[in-house]
Amino acid sequence: MKVQSHDLAILGGSPVFPESLHVGRPNVGDRARLLERFNDMLDRRWFSNNGPFVQELEQRIAAMVGVKHCIAMCNATVALEITIRALGLTGEVIVPSFTFIATAHALQWQQITPVFGDIDPVTHTLDPKSVEEMITPRTSGIIGVHVWGQPCRIEALQEIARRRGLALMFDAAHAFGCSYHGQMIGNFGSAEVFSFHATKFLNSFEGGAVVTNDDELASQIRLMTNFGFAGYDNVIYIGTNGKMNEAAAAMGLTSLESLDDVVAVNRRHYAQYARELNGLPGVTMFSYDERERCNYQYVVLEIDGTQAGLSRDQLMEVLWAENILARRYFYPGCHRMEPYRSYFPHAGLMLPETNRLSSRVLILPTGTAVDAADISTVCQVIQTALAHAPEVQDVLLRRVMQDQEAAD
């Protein structure tokens, strides 16, 4: 459909989508195969405690990534917390502020201070130069985050960790199925943590995994994931309950079998967005290295409001009016959320690139719940809104004034 200015819902038209178009609706995969697995599980009556589906999922992920160990978990946040504890991290750990809040909370939950480093404006990942500046005598480790599946500057972080005697691990929640210099993400640092949350391109309803090539660390993590049990009635270490259940593993296996199909869909969508948004003033689309494996899970725009005519937030308001639920990742940055904004009120002074990017990033819908026609409509809404930016701005300004008057 062709979207004209008078069609825009923000200007009085009807929404182009009658139902919400989400950024990350779950990919289901082969439903019949999933239900077959559920029936097998029900027949066995083995629902948790390292069941056969969990074991199979761990083996298949380890083989795909090319690592020695994969420990499946109930979710990635618990996986982060357990890995942090297994590595013996204390004091302060350097992390990016431009990440999902769970990365910071996994530290603070254990009374470890997350120290926020700035990001590289090109890769959107932790800037090694900023890491160097943030190291203090209390620093025990570094957590890099592979944002959008874009790997961190791994060698630089490894060199810093080696030289300064720090532990290094990675939050790879976005990066399952991605590679770095031809080697699969999962092979770097002491360990890497994947997320299989429902919104991730590979999902297990809710879940995660730790992957590592360190035998001792893997053994420690397994103990901690199951209350410290080492055999029947034999607890040898303090632990918690981080186990993945069989239903989640069944979904994970089904997702894994559909992985290539989902990546192909994501890649087509990414290419279509790139074509149809090409040349729009003030709109830059994050590009992936075509030489590497990538899951193309995120379609990421940077909006320069001065050039585009609308700010990121104004454009998002236009899209939401059309039931296109574009998202502001990772707004406003962990350092501006509680408790961190109270703990570190001046942290933003050291994070100029994080502050800049968090005000510009906009994530668009993709995945198997979206088709080519949907994408064309989203792009036409963006094109039309920017082409009529003064009119849109006028409407939005009047709304702000009306809201202020109502509040007064």
Domain spans in the chain, listed from the N-terminal domain onward = 5-15+259-326+365-407, 31-257
Q: Is the peptide bond before 339 cis (omega within 30 degrees of 0)?
A: yes
What is this structure's pTM?
Answer: 0.95
pLDDT at 2: 76
- Token readout for 319 is 């899209």
Q: What pLDDT sits at residue 406?
A: 74
pLDDT recorded at residue 376: 98
pLDDT at 3: 75
Q: Where are the beta strands (DSSP E) in 289-377?
A: 299-303, 324-325, 361-364
CATH code: domain 5-15+259-326+365-407 is 3.90.1150.10
User: Closest Cα to residue 315, out of 260, 258, 223, 379?
Assistant: 379
| Positions in the chain short of pLDDT 70 | 1, 408
CA–CA dist 238, 225 (Å, integer): 10
Residue 139, token pair as written in the block: 């620093």
Nearest Cα residue to 316 out of 307, 332, 303 = 303
CATH 3.40.50.1820 fits 31-257, yes or no: no
Q: What's the full length of the chain, in residues? A: 408
Strands (E), 172-225: 179-180, 183-184, 192-195, 208-212
Answer for the pair 94, 161: CB distance below 8 angstroms, yes or no: no
Place of tokens 């003064």: 390
Q: Which two tokens stand for residue 3?
A: 């979207």
237: left (phi over 0), alpha (psi -120 to 50) or beta: beta
Please enumerate in sequence order all residues whose Cβ is within 8 A of that of 26, keeping only pairs 6 or more positions apart, or say none.
Answer: 198, 199, 203, 369
pLDDT attached to residue 399: 83
pLDDT at 248: 98
- Identify the pLDDT of residue 1: 62
